[in-house]
Structure 1
Amino acid sequence: MRPVDFRRGHDGLAATIQNELGLDPHSGLTVVFRSKRGDRIKVLVWDGTGLVLIYKRLEAGSFTWPKVQDGVMRLSRAQFEALNSIASCAEVRRAAPPSAPGQGKRPRSSTL
């Protein structure tokens, strides 16, 4: 799936799951959305009582993602657990620490 508009919230992302993937967002599945730059993710999951939205932004670097197959990027349990533990997804490319607030744009990622 291509990156999504990160202004979308619970309902917009649930509609994307239903309309673009043909899946039921209330079935208990977990869907990870990525930003265009690859430095942010949103995780949407139904916990049985409501939709839970988790947002993660890396201060430096970006996630390296598995290949997309049939419009869907499938994560192994280990890759998802790495995201969940805020470690990495496959790996995290490191970059210089972000500048102080108000001191320009955040640095682009670089590979070591």
Structure 2
Amino acid sequence: MIPSGVKVFLASHPVDFRKGIDGLVALVRDAGDPFDGALYVFRAKRANRIKIVWWDGSGVCLYLKRLEKAKFCWPRIGHHRVQLTSAQLMGTGSGSGLCRSSRRRLLGKSTAAK
């Protein structure tokens, strides 16, 4: 379970999924502090896998999820990061959350995503 107050950042640009924990932390370092307790979420090019890295107080943790028959819905590809709430992240993990109302709010769109 993700604590309700934790910050969650999505990298909107896909990353090379051969990167391990050190490579992902280096990407986080380019944009901020990887040791601030926030969750940093990355996706693969095909959008069927995500990796999440975070500092838990004693070390860096890595979480990987692969969807077998679906893809994660994601903001437009670009070189920016998007901040989510923990509830929005949980919806993204099911493969459906960002596709519906949450994506509209994040991107300022008036129509639903694909």
Task: Tell me if both proteins adopt one fold, taking TM over 0.5 as the criterion.
Answer: yes
Contact 2:13-2:78 at 8 Å conserved across structures:
no
Tell me what 1:25 maps to: 34
- Provide Cα deviations, 1:35-75, integer angstroms capped at 9, x if missing partner: 11111000001100101100001101201113468711222
- Equivalent AA in structure 2 for residue 78 of structure 1: A
Could you tell me how far apart the structure 1 residues matched to 2:25 and 2:66 are? 20
Which residue pairs with 2:91 in the alignment?
82
**Partner SS for 1:64:** coil
Q: Is the 8 A contact 1:39 1:63 kept in 2?
A: yes
Query: Larger % of helix: which?
Result: 2
Structure 2 alignment gaps of length 5 or more? 1-11, 101-113
Please report how far the alpha carbon of residue 76 of structure 1 lies from its aligned counterpart in structure 2 after TM superposition. Answer: 2.9
Larger Rg: 1
4+ long deviations beyond 4 Å: 67-70
Q: Give SS of 2:81's match.
A: coil
Identity, % of aligned positions: 40
TM-score norm. by structure 2 comes to 0.67
Aligned letter for 1:80?
A: L
Q: How many residues align?
A: 89
Q: Which has the higher contact order (CA 8 A, sep 6+)?
A: 2
**Given that residues 67 and 73 in structure 1 are in contact (C-alpha distance below 8 angstroms), is that contact kept between their aligned partners in structure 2?**
no
